[in-house]
């Protein structure tokens, strides 16, 4: 590997959890834009246990330092930790995706990454939180993006087969609003059934089997067929404990926009929702009356794809290349 390139450190040879597929899409764009290569971290695993991580926690020996040998790397860290991170290496720049730590845990957090060259957080809300607590000079804000492979134009069209496709974790309040709305309206809704032989089957509300949605491309294809997407930030309506009250805008919002969906959103206004312009790009739903009005409108109007394409031009993965340079 060339010594003067910023390498992209990737988990793709050791981590197949579906959440990482999105990260790997970002990495593919960055690798091409930076004209660089991947760095593959090593894992010392015995008997199914991550011995390398335990060894590092006990002795400060990080097996990846042997292979990195001081070369500059950029990496995404899925979740902030207050323990020692395997990305805690000289020459490493990291961007942390999920950050749910309390103020009392911040000193341990920065100690966990003390050897890195630079730390970014993807949430503007978290960035402002860290600034407020005196760590503004220790971190930067590197927003979440959507891969350039999903780029749209004002003339992009999608064949909409469903009024709504329910994907992922459902917000209980929006789900209640939808159930109430469906009592008086005939909607074609796609939803996930029970896991069957390792597959995630999807059906319509009238019992029609749509197909299995097992891969990221299956998921994208499904929401592209939906007229409307329901969206919420994660730390509301029961999610507060899981996120410690943080309400970061997640990639699903950008995916719904890139798929030409009207977005009905319930969220807690914060620096992240302001950064991603949710007030302008989604219909804010705070009550059932808001929901009903937004649904009626979305079912009878076309999406403004010119507005959507102009918006996404600010949020493709290629827009953060200069930060990494």
What confidence score (pLDDT) does residue 294 get?
A: 97
| pLDDT at residue 37 greater than cutoff 70 | yes
Q: Mean pLDDT throughout 57-70?
A: 79
Domain ranges of the chain: 7-142, 149-312
Distance of CA 250 to the CA centre of its chain: 4
| pLDDT at residue 239 greater than cutoff 80 | no
Contact 147, 317 (CB under 8 A): yes
Q: Mean pLDDT throughout 105-119?
A: 95
| pLDDT at residue 232 greater than cutoff 70 | yes
Q: Between these two residues, 92 and 3, which has the higher pLDDT value? A: 92
Angle formed at CA 314 by CA 307 and CA 78, multiple of 5 degrees: 125
Q: Mean pLDDT throughout 154-166?
A: 97
Tell me which of 14-18, 105-109, 123-127 is least confident: 14-18
What confidence score (pLDDT) does residue 325 get?
A: 85
- What tokens appear for 185 in the block? 């309206």
In the three-class reduction of DSSP (H, G, I as helix; E, B as strand; rest coil), residue 307 is classed as helix
Q: What percent of the chain has pLDDT over 90?
A: 77
| CA distance linking residue 267 with residue 286, whole number of Å | 8
| pLDDT at residue 1 greater than cutoff 60 | no
| pLDDT at residue 41 greater than cutoff 90 | no
Q: Mean pLDDT throughout 107-119?
A: 95
Identical fold for domains 7-142 and 149-312, yes or no, is yes
Within the chain, how many helices (H) and strands (E) appear?
14, 15
Confidence band, pLDDT 50/70/90 cuts, at residue 61:
confident
| pLDDT at residue 50 greater than cutoff 60 | yes
What confidence score (pLDDT) does residue 110 get?
A: 95
On average, the pLDDT of the chain sits at: 92
At the topology level, CATH places domain 7-142 in: Rossmann fold (3.40.50)
Radius of gyration of the chain (CA): 21
Phi, psi (rounded to 5 degrees) for 104: -70, -15
pTM of the model: 0.93
**Minimal CA–CA distance to 291: which of 176, 192, 188, 205?**
176
For 269-291, what is each residue's pLDDT tens digit? 999 999 999 999 999 999 999 99
At the topology level, CATH places domain 149-312 in: Rossmann fold (3.40.50)
Confidence band, pLDDT 50/70/90 cuts, at residue 48:
low
| CA distance linking residue 248 with residue 139, whole number of Å | 17
């Amino acid at each position: 590997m060339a010594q003067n390139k910023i390498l992209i450190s990737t988990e793709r040879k050791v981590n197949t959890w579906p959440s990482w597929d999105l990260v790997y899409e970002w990495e593919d764009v960055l690798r091409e834009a930076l004209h660089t290569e991947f760095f593959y971290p090593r894992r010392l695993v015995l008997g199914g246990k991550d011995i390398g991580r335990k060894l590092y926690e006990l002795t400060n020996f990080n097996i990846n330092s042997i292979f990195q040998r001081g070369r500059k790397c950029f990496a995404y860290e899925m979740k902030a930790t207050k323990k020692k991170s395997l990305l805690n290496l000289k020459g490493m720049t990291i961007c942390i995706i999920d950050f749910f730590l309390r103020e009392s845990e911040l000193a341990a957090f920065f100690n966990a990454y003390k050897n890195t060259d630079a730390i970014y957080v993807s949430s503007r809300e978290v960035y402002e939180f860290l600034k407020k607590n005196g760590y503004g000079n220790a971190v930067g804000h590197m927003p979440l993006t959507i891969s350039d492979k999903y780029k749209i134009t004002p003339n992009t069209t999608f064949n909409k087969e469903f009024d709504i496709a329910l994907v992922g974790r459902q917000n209980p309040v929006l789900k209640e609003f939808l159930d109430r709305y469906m009592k008086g309206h005939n909607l074609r809704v796609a939803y996930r059934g029970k896991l069957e032989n390792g597959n995630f089957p999807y059906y319509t509300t009238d019992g029609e089997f749509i197909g299995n949605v097992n891969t990221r491309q299956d998921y994208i294809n499904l929401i592209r067929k939906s007229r409307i997407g329901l969206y919420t930030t994660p730390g509301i309506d029961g999610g507060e404990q899981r996120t410690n009250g943080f309400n970061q805008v997640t990639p699903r919002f950008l995916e719904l926009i890139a798929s030409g969906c009207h977005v009905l959103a319930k969220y807690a206004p914060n620096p992240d929702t302001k950064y991603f312009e949710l007030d302008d790009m989604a219909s804010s739903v705070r009550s059932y009356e808001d929901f009903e009005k937004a649904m009626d409108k979305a079912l009878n109007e076309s999406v403004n794809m010119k507005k959507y394409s102009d918006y996404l031009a600010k949020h493709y993965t290629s827009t953060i290349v200069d930060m990494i340079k």
